Structure 1
Amino acid sequence: MIHEAKATAPFTFDDAAELVANIGILPLAPLIPEHPSLKGLTREEDWHTDTELDPWQWRVRFPGESKAAYGKFLKKKAVLVARDWFPYFAAALGSSLSLKERYDRGLSGREALIVLEIIKAKEGIETRQLRSEAEMKAKEKKTAFDNALNELQGSVDIVISGVRPRLNAAGDKNGWNSTSFETAANWMRESGIEPFAGDKEEAIAWLKARIEPVWSPEAAAWIQKLWAKTK
């Protein structure tokens, strides 16, 4: 079983890709008990350096190279999910109901419904444009907008597809890069990944069979509680 240790040597993207393929789910920061995180496996001095060893850059590279899906899928925290695991992960942790059905039953907010429809129409849309088109640019609507994005990632309806530079009216870079979003279905389609055709229980069984040999008992128990809470 793999546990997190203090990083003393350089940890490369290839190292991370091999690990994600093996354990299936890797949070960016410590989240799952007795389970590694990208933060713990890498050296602090490598972060935000814009070098090949910068893990902050990998969050874009993983989905871009179709090696792993990326998003705030667990407890509103950023997680990488291996491409082979993702269809089962989505079925296990996502809802069996469509967002419209959840909205009609009072299980989802109107803002999430609006945001998802825009993302479906404009796959890969960046945050600032998305917020504008959702008519949530006002300061008092920021929380509702952020909550909608968190909800849609938590239900695995959308993924973070990358970041785009913010440009001013003249087309010059202006400020921090902006996160872009696409539907999970579109990311899988573009990555050549077939969606899982079975039900939630079958997806969980598939994941459990792969988790048990490489996850700690504490980590496995933690995620199984999340599976039990989704509807």
Structure 2
Amino acid sequence: MTGPGAGGNPVRVCLVDDHAVVRRGLRGYLELVEDIEVVGEAADGHTALDVVAALVADGAAPHVVLMDLLMPGTDGVTATRLLTQRYAGIAVVAMTSYSEVDRIRSALEAGASGYLLKDAEADQVVDAIRQAQRGEMPLGPAVARQLARAFRAPGRAARDPLTGREHEVLALLAAGLSNREIASRLSISERTARTHVSNILDKLGVRSRTQAALYAIQQGLAPAPPSA
């Protein structure tokens, strides 16, 4: 069976932004992309939760939600946390005008799979959607620079709970490799790779591969995403 965005069913996307013109612009462009389908939109976090719940009930759950962070009522960080807690298979990519590290961290700690600025080029948004659907970590260049700067600051090291093999797995995870690719690279079974990833998430106390990848960058186990 062919997966979404891989020549089979399109990647289903839900747009969440309190500015109608932003949603209209994103929808207009994404509807031109063959392997992406916009299945819903919302103007605030509360409505987004209702829209996604309805889509899930109809068997058309979005694969990716593009989420604005600053909205009236239920904000994007809160909505992201609730969505990722309720629906493990839905990836959220935060989109906002702000690149401060605290905002980035809040979104990623809430469960967002990636973070883009609203001045991103249209093809960057499309790439981010595809990456998020594949379980990767899309970060815009400015966001990557901010994270790299913050994670290279002194005094951030913490006691490392991982084994040597788990370090190897984590470094490959942070490079965007799937469990199958990690297994191939390390000459282990895919089941063993999956077990290592699960153990890593448990030991680090994180809920997603994205958050584990950020830990790897912070500890110098993997390079920060490219800044250009």
Q: TM-score range by the shorter chain?
A: 0.3 to 0.5
**Greater relative CO, 1 or 2 (CA 8 Å, sep 6+):** 1
Q: TM-score, normalised by structure 2?
A: 0.33
Provide TM-score, normalisation by structure 1: 0.33
